[in-house]
Amino acid sequence: MSLRGKTAFITGASRGIGLEIAKSLATRGANVAVAAKTTEPHPKLPGTIHTAVEEINQIGERNGSGAKGLAIQLDVRDADAVKDAIDRTVGTLGNLDIVINNASAINVKPTVEASVKSYDLMNNINSRGTWLVSRFALPHLLKSASESRNPHILTLSPTLTYSMLSASSSRGGFPSQFSQTASAYTIAKFGMSLNTLALAAETMGKVGVNSLWPYTLIGTSAMKIVSPNSDVEEKRWRSPKIVSEAAVRVLEEYGATFSAQFLVDEIYLRRKHGFTDEQIAEFSLGGKETPLESLAEDLYISQELREDVLRARRGE
């Protein structure tokens, strides 16, 4: 379904995955509210809400789609500010059809070393922030549904399945991988996925509510800063464009029936849109000759998902 003329609200969209999704939406003619904290250039990280909007406007002008951007400084922990940001988006751009919960904080210190402050920060931004944005956007999304505008909520969070969370699993996935991410971040991140599950149930038949997660580590500017030996390691990562390619296609699905899905970018692109090895390889930062099996997996990739990726690569 066409995204032309739709309005999207994206948190954390001044750079990285959020910005790539915003640009892909603009290419398809959607207006985008860029909601993030960064208004002044960061000494190490490129991009602000204003530079993001400039890119969106340039895309709209260049391809004639008419897409426009709206810069909104926002801390998703502030409930009043979230409501005002949603209201401003609707007041300025005329409607609201798409919400993308992308803003997230990460700290994977072991529980015995983690501070209460880091726990509160991650949970306030990740799970609570996702709920706040979804909560105040929902009346507008239901209005969008009543006007047959195909509304969606898409959250960047891990797959939520029984095998993912079962401590009795003996297939080599969880719970061992949770030791890498520790309790505070795990709770905050899966809180976002629980938001998807519950909201999908609440809005079934009206709003498409789904989660999307990358199979591999994604080479954002922030990743390159925090990762040791990033000049070498990034050759095993993928571009944020693979996530944006998957995201915009999810948003083109008919949300009334395509909901409560926990999607992995590569699996979705292969099975639903016929992406080939050659197309998928284009996203590798190490070059398209990089063997797929040598890429670095992202967090929360269970053995079940690993096996499903291999099946998708075989065309199954």
Reply yes or no on whether 185 is catalytic. yes
Pick the catalytic residue: 119, 185, 215, 300? 185
CA dist 303 and 139 (Å) reads 39
Distance between start and end Cα atoms, the chain: 26
Query: Which residue shows structure tokens 């400084």?
Result: 73
- The answer to whether 123 and 191 have CB atoms below 8 angstroms apart is yes
Q: Give me 133's structure tokens.
A: 């944005």
How far is the CA of 59 from the CAs of 24, 67, 206, in angstroms?
9, 7, 30
Query: Which residue shows structure tokens 């969880």?
Result: 174
Residue 214 phi/psi, 5° resolution? -80, 145
- The answer to whether 33 and 8 have CB atoms below 8 angstroms apart is yes
Q: Give me 95's structure tokens.
A: 């409607």
- The answer to whether 213 and 293 have CB atoms below 8 angstroms apart is no
CA dist 264 and 257 (Å) reads 19
By annotation, the residues acting in catalysis are 185
